[in-house]
Amino acid sequence: MSKTWFITGASSGLGRELAEQLLARGDRVVGTVRREDALSDLARTYGEALTTMLLDVTDTARLRAVVDEAFGRMGRIDIVVSNAGYGLFGAAEELEDGQIDHQIATNLTGSIQLVRAALPHLRRQGGGRVLQVSSEGGQIAYPNFSLYHATKWGIEGFVEAVAQEVAPFGIDFILAEPGPTATNFGAGLVRPAPMDVYDNTPAGDVRRAIDGGGFVLKGDGARTVAAMIAAADSAEPPLRLALGSTAYESISTALTQRRTAIEAQREVAFSADRQDV
């Protein structure tokens, strides 16, 4: 049975790949874009199976109106994909205030407001799924991506809490956590002017690795999307879905290190308890 998907940021990267694979298998897609003709080639191929809507997720009022219209037009939307986003690349001290505000508004606030706008519709139709595109960067951190990580760690905490709130309504969440993947994500990085003082620091090392091609992108975009779709199709999807060997190894290492660190703190942790209970 075909399904209906709502995808933000459908014009490029994983969002575009999602739209292509879903349409090819016979599903219906509502794809939001910021440029009206961004999916015109897919529209010519798939006709009414694709609905394109203009949206900048930082415009909360417009976002709510688009979600309401999409559910009204489609009747039912099975999976809402929160994909729109980008990366702000630079040491924290280098970032401009406006860049910080826009990163948070796009990746974090925009994702939060999309979920909030979709929940009443998902409840009324008896359930559904939300696929939040996060990153391995929702559980680990690289130098030069501090604000990007802030948004991904933030949305993961939000989703983990909301998933518990709405589970009784038959609404599931999936946090997709791709590692470095061969898409156009790197081309979309926003970069402030670099400060020379960071040249000989881990931030400088990461900058040189990315600029020099030393940052290996093991992930395959099409395979990553196929795994996301399979998870969304499954009867009991995982809350977190690591995608790519880099993501698996990085997240696994980070979790092991955190487990070791917290176990070493057991005595001091318990010492902070009240003694009268």
- Active-site residues: which are they? 134, 148, 152
Token pair 């991904």: residue: 152
Handedness of CA 61, 108, 31, 28 (dihedral sign): negative
B/e letters for 106-131, b = 16+ CB within 10 Å, e = fewer, are bbbbbbbbbbebbbebbeebeebbbb
DSSP-derived secondary structure letter, 107: I
H/E element holding 53? strand 50-54
B/e letters for 237-253, b = 16+ CB within 10 Å, e = fewer, are beebbbbbebbeebbee
H/E element holding 58? none
